[in-house]
Amino acid sequence: MEIVRTALDDIVAHAQGSAPNECCGLLLGRNDAIVETVRAANIADDPRRRFLIDPRDHIVGRRRARDRGLAVVGFYHSHPASPAEPSPADRAEAGYADHLYMIVGLAANAPEVLLFRFDGGNFRAVPFVTVG
């Protein structure tokens, strides 16, 4: 999987700027590439422990993708105080099978960014490279 450098940089900046709350957003792209992101509001009741993408932002993101000839290939969020591994809440609340889920962990000195594909029951790691 490839991710455009500006998209990855935006995700990390969003995570750092939202701490101590979790940030969230959409990943736009094609089959094997993430080319853009759409930031979304986190409307979770407890945004320090989980995320919930604002439905209006989700709709705007889908329209933006369609207008650019792209698709929503997944979602991203941050873990401000823990590693970039799917949490129990992430596992319980994931709802888009065969979509990508990028997590930014801010527990260490440098941000940790991992990508997963949700197969409807499990998250499996997906290697990625940055381009551009």
What pLDDT score was predicted for residue 121? 81
Instruction: Give the chain's length.
Output: 132
End-to-end, the C-alpha distance of the chain in Å comes to: 14
Locate the domains of the chain by residue range: 2-44+59-67+74-131
Residue 18 and residue 42: Cα distance in Å, rounded?
10
Residue 34 and residue 31: Cα distance in Å, rounded?
8
CATH of domain 2-44+59-67+74-131: 3.40.140.10
What pLDDT score was predicted for residue 56? 97
What pLDDT score was predicted for residue 120? 79
Residue 122 and residue 116: Cα distance in Å, rounded?
9
Residue in the structure block whose two tokens are 């970039």? 84
pLDDT digits (tens, 9 = 90+) for 82-113: 999 999 999 999 988 889 999 999 999 999 99
Q: If we measure between CA atoms, which residue out of 52, 99, 49, 54 comes closest to residue 79?
A: 49
Distances (CA, A) of 37 to 46, 69, 72, 103, 112: 23, 14, 9, 13, 18
* pLDDT class of 5 with cuts at 50, 70, 90: very high
pLDDT digits (tens, 9 = 90+) for 41-89: 999 999 999 999 999 999 999 999 999 999 999 999 999 999 999 999 9
pTM > 0.85: yes or no: yes
